[in-house]
Amino acid sequence: MAALIGPASAWATFAVVMLALVVYHVRHLARLSRWLADPVPGRVPEGSGTWDEVLSALHKYERAGVRRESLLEEALTRFRRAAQALPDGVIMLDAENRIEWCNDAAAAQLGLDPRADVGQAIANLLRAPVFIDHLAARDQTGAVQMQVGDAVFALRLVPYGESQKLLLSRDVTQAERLETMRRDFVANVSHELRTPLTVLVGFLETVRELKLDPQRTRDYLGMMQEQSARMHRIIEDLLTLSVLESAPPPAAERVPTRPLLERLRADAQALSGGRHRIVLLGSPAVDLLGSESELSSAFGNLVSNAIRYTPQDGEVRIIWRDAAEGASFVVEDTGIGIAQEHLPRLTERFYRVDRSRSRETGGTGLGLAIVKHAVARHQAHLDVESKPGQGSRFTIRFPAKRTIPGETDLAQTRNSSA
């Protein structure tokens, strides 16, 4: 009997141990499978015994995964922040040219919605034929230009990864405008110089080929001299303009106003040759601070225009006004005047209301461009008011910081206080 009880109790003990073991494993397995069904990071179940080793290893692995993920997320956030900070537009396209992501600059420039347009084919959103052709082309090197409203954008495709692309957009409106201005300027200068040169060459041939009497020869030489002088004036004005554009800001040297105005009156009288009434009004109490040559060239251009565009017996007034907020130099005339629509373009190089009248009176079309630059370099403003048939008023307003008490007044103050 004892012999039987021994093995039976051994079996029972064995069965209990086995059962405990099964329960231990099943409970751990159940916990693990519950966690695997919803793997909350950092909540890997804890275990005991062998399971402790397994679950700790899993815990470590899971923590490393979480760390890797957060590093990746950080890197992605950094990349997106950098791409957002770019002044240029960046659009990520997939292999089918659909938008995966775009920065705010691209959205603003090209009118995209950074959320709603994700997954949209770029060709459905940017429909300019020049871009559609570029997108379909085999060779996508280089950039194409696309007009959006008043702005011009350069679009460039850059392949990366496996058949993905970056579409970069850059606002080139200003550069395009400058390029157009440069082209127009070169064309204008060539035209302005070619005209007198053609006339000059024509006269030269005439004088060389034909047997002319001395009087005729002198006439032709006189006309040739006129054309040469015209070319000379254009080149002088172009040089003045280029100096005004590139020179450092003018020095703040004292420019005595009274003698400057007196010189202008004398020059005006000489230019008019007695055909106009020249009046100088105002008694300046301040001098200007700036470049004497630039200021006298700006003032001189306004006075010379007033005389050239005012018929005989008209009046030209040179006026100086002191005020608390600064000083103004004004030139008024009773001349032909300028229609309103021309006023905004008057200071453009070579812009003239009446080309032949400007030429007849020795104009280069650069005078007001010179005035505009010289005035801006002294933080002053040029205003133009005019009525066709009645006359014009050109006003240069200087800020107070460009004026200084006049020397004569200072001398008087010193004398009276002595």
Residues with Cβ within 8 Å of residue 366, at least 6 apart in sequence: 234, 237, 238, 240, 241, 349, 350
> Which of 73, 72, 117 is closest to 91 using CA atoms?
117
Chosen residue from 122, 289, 346, 382 binding ligand ADP by CB under 6 A: 346
Nearer to ligand ADP, 194 or 345 (CB): 345
Q: What residues between 138 and 157 interact with ligand ADP by CB under 6 A?
A: none
Contact 337, 330 (CB under 8 A): no
Nearer to ligand ADP, 261 or 369 (CB): 369
Nearer to ligand ADP, 194 or 401 (CB): 194
Residues with Cβ within 8 Å of residue 98, at least 6 apart in sequence: 119, 120, 121, 122
In the block, tokens 């005006």 appear at 268
> Which of 338, 238, 240, 255 is closest to 289 using CA atoms?
255
Chosen residue from 104, 176, 267, 354 binding ligand ADP by CB under 6 A: 354
Distance in angstroms (rounded) separating the CA atoms of residues 396 and 318: 12
Distance in angstroms (rounded) separating the CA atoms of residues 246 and 101: 44
Q: How far is the CB of 234 from ligand ADP (least distance, A)?
A: 10
Nearer to ligand ADP, 92 or 331 (CB): 331
Chosen residue from 102, 110, 244, 353 binding ligand ADP by CB under 6 A: 353
Q: Cα dihedral angle (283, 284, 285, 286), rounded to 10 degrees?
A: 180
* Residue 297 sits in the site that holds ligand ADP (CB under 6 A): no
Chosen residue from 144, 363, 403, 406 binding ligand ADP by CB under 6 A: 363
Chosen residue from 47, 284, 365, 406 binding ligand ADP by CB under 6 A: 365
Cα 258–chain centre separation: 40
Nearer to ligand ADP, 308 or 378 (CB): 308
Q: How far is the CB of 293 from ligand ADP (least distance, A)?
A: 18
Chosen residue from 295, 367, 373, 375 binding ligand ADP by CB under 6 A: 367
Chosen residue from 83, 106, 238, 368 binding ligand ADP by CB under 6 A: 368
Q: What residues between 302 and 341 interact with ligand ADP by CB under 6 A?
A: 305-306, 309, 333, 335-338
Distance in angstroms (rounded) separating the CA atoms of residues 211 and 394: 51
Q: How far is the CB of 165 from ligand ADP (least distance, A)?
A: 50
Structure tokens at 330: 């004004």
Q: How far is the CB of 285 from ligand ADP (least distance, A)?
A: 27
Q: How far is the CB of 389 from ligand ADP (least distance, A)?
A: 11
Contact 298, 396 (CB under 8 A): yes
**How many residues touch ligand ADP (CB under 6 A)?**
23
* Residue 294 sits in the site that holds ligand ADP (CB under 6 A): no
* Residue 358 sits in the site that holds ligand ADP (CB under 6 A): yes
Q: How far is the CB of 121 from ligand ADP (least distance, A)?
A: 52
Chosen residue from 165, 352, 377, 402 binding ligand ADP by CB under 6 A: 352
Q: How far is the CB of 393 from ligand ADP (least distance, A)?
A: 9
Q: In which region does residue 327 sit, left (phi positive, over 0), alpha (psi from -120 to 50) or beta (all else)?
A: beta
Beta strands in 83-238 (DSSP E): 89-93, 99-102, 143-148, 151-160, 164-171
Structure tokens at 389: 């048939």
317: three-class secondary structure by DSSP: strand
Nearer to ligand ADP, 32 or 280 (CB): 280
Contact 295, 288 (CB under 8 A): yes
Nearer to ligand ADP, 21 or 279 (CB): 279
Nearer to ligand ADP, 122 or 346 (CB): 346
Cβ-count burial of 220 within 10 angstroms (0-12 exposed, 13-18 middle, 19+ buried)? middle
Cα 326–chain centre separation: 30
Distance in angstroms (rounded) separating the CA atoms of residues 34 and 377: 78
Binding site for ligand ADP (CB under 6 A): 301, 305-306, 309, 333, 335-338, 346, 351-354, 358, 363-369, 392
